[in-house]
Amino acid sequence: MAETAVAHDTHATSTGLSNVKLGMWLFLGSECLLFGGLISTYMLYRGRVANGPTPEQVYDIPFTSVSSFVLLMSSLTMVLAVTAAHKKDDRNTNLWLTVTALLGATFVGGQVYEFTAFYNEGLGFTTSLFGSSFYTLTGFHGVHVTVGIIMLLALVAINKRSRVPGSKSETVEMIGLYWHFVDIVWIIIFTLVYLIPV
Amino acid sequence: MTTSTPTHAEHGMSTRGYVNIAVILAAITALEVSTYYVDFGPLFLPALLIMMVVKFFMVVSYFMHLKFDNKIFSWLFYAGLFLAVSVYVAALATFHFFLR
């Protein structure tokens, strides 16, 4: 009912496509440049360890593998939320959005634990070029995931009050695109940063 | 009015299809992690990079619906990706990264 009402609020565009969606894809394309720069900097500096531990001494591959798997599965729950939103199934949309936020929070919690463990092993932000580039890259990614979690929970809250502006399914889809993007960035980070040795 | 039709285009996959994609992604991740424990010899690096690229495009194509959506969205995203890869490969090459 509400979905039918808001459908009349959308305006025709010259391309016949949603400007919001065009803007989101353009934003994600530009984000490739941001993360490309951070990943390249890490690749360049990962072997530069004058002080402190080396990557091999601090990385805990089994732990990071589990958190990577959790983030990967959050992409499945996100796409299920988008599917439910397209079917105008509010209950399942909220359910899958909440599960996605919880999986994301588990990933961020794992990252906080990892950073704490690395710091206790002597790897601070300014200990070495490796440390600086590692914390900057994974920290930026963690901030992106955190922003995604806030958007997911905010969407659940406003969806429960039926106050989502514009097309509800499109709003869920846009947040979904952002969420999947942070997942594909982690797919690259997991391989290049953790699995390929210096 | 009419904008909702192309924007909310049929996304072409059922719930079962998405679960199947997730299972494949999980299996590839398990294979990736196995390279940490099993010696793949000279195949180690190319295998890891290929698996990374396959996972990347599976998520982009199916979960992000680029495979089923208007091609303009693909152009916008892949243009940014291509630009990023080109710029940073060139930047790394100037530091002789690939000769190490």
Chosen from A15, A25, A66 to mutate, greatest number of chain B CBs within 10 A: A25
pLDDT band at B8 (very low <50, low <70, confident <90, very high): very low
3-state secondary structure of A127: coil
A191 touches B: beta carbon within 8 Å: yes
pLDDT tens digits, residue range A137-170? Answer: 999 999 999 999 999 999 999 998 887 787 888 9
Question: What's the whole-number mean pLDDT along residues B47-67?
Answer: 96
- For residues A49 and B53, what is the distance between their CA atoms, to the nearest angstrom? 29
pLDDT band at B4 (very low <50, low <70, confident <90, very high): very low
pLDDT tens digits, residue range A27-52? Answer: 999 999 999 999 999 999 999 998 89
Residue B11: pLDDT above 70?
no
pLDDT tens digits, residue range A87-120? Answer: 999 999 999 999 999 999 999 999 999 999 999 9
Kindly report the pTM of this predicted structure: 0.90
B9 touches A: beta carbon within 8 Å: no
Question: What is the complex's ipTM, to 2 decimals?
Answer: 0.89
Residue B16: pLDDT above 60?
yes
Residue B3: pLDDT above 50?
no
DSSP structure string for A129-168: HHHHHHHHHHHHHHHHHHHHHHHHHHHHHHHHTT---S-H
The dihedrals phi and psi of B11, each to the nearest 5 degrees, come to -90, 0
**DSSP H or E stretch at residue A112:** helix A90-120
Nearest CA in chain B to A16: B3
Residue A171: pLDDT above 60?
yes
pLDDT for the residue B79: 94
